[in-house]
């Protein structure tokens, strides 16, 4: 991410340019990917998470799940930052679609 590179080059100070890059990433993710079933969603989530982390916004959520005909085990954990718990899969449920149909997983978050 351009903002991350610029941040390392200037000693960690958040400049107006870095803030603008991060705000643009947030806007694009929310418009095109948030809450939508897309095969690019996991790739774009890392940019969105990074932008929120740089700005010191949101909360970090870790989740994993697995699916199989028998003996499903948890998959590799996914760690991501969201603007709020309600915006995350923990708040809205996680949806995915593949060639074998759709999957919706509701996550219960205990506080």
The SS3 assignment for 21 reads helix
pLDDT of residue 53: 94
Distance of alpha carbon 22 from alpha carbon 60, whole angstroms: 17
Q: Which residues on neighbouring strands pair with residue 62, listed in sequence order?
A: 79
Summarize pLDDT for 10-46 with one digit per residue, the tens.
Answer: 998 999 999 999 999 999 999 988 877 766 656 788 8
Instruction: Estimate the crossing angle of helix 41-55 against helix 2-9, to 10 degrees.
Output: 30
pLDDT of residue 25: 95
The whole-model pTM stands at 0.71
* Structure tokens that stand for 104 in this block: 């919706």
């Amino acid at each position: 991410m351009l903002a991350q590179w610029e941040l390392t080059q200037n000693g960690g100070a958040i400049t107006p340019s870095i803030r603008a890059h991060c705000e643009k990433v947030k806007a694009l993710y929310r418009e095109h990917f948030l809450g939508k079933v897309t095969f690019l969603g996991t790739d774009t989530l890392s940019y969105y998470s990074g932008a929120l982390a740089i700005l010191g916004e949101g909360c970090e959520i870790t989740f994993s799940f697995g699916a199989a005909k028998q003996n499903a085990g948890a998959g590799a954990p996914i760690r991501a930052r969201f603007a709020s718990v309600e915006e995350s899969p923990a708040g809205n449920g996680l949806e995915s679609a593949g060639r074998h149909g759709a999957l919706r997983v509701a996550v219960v978050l205990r506080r």
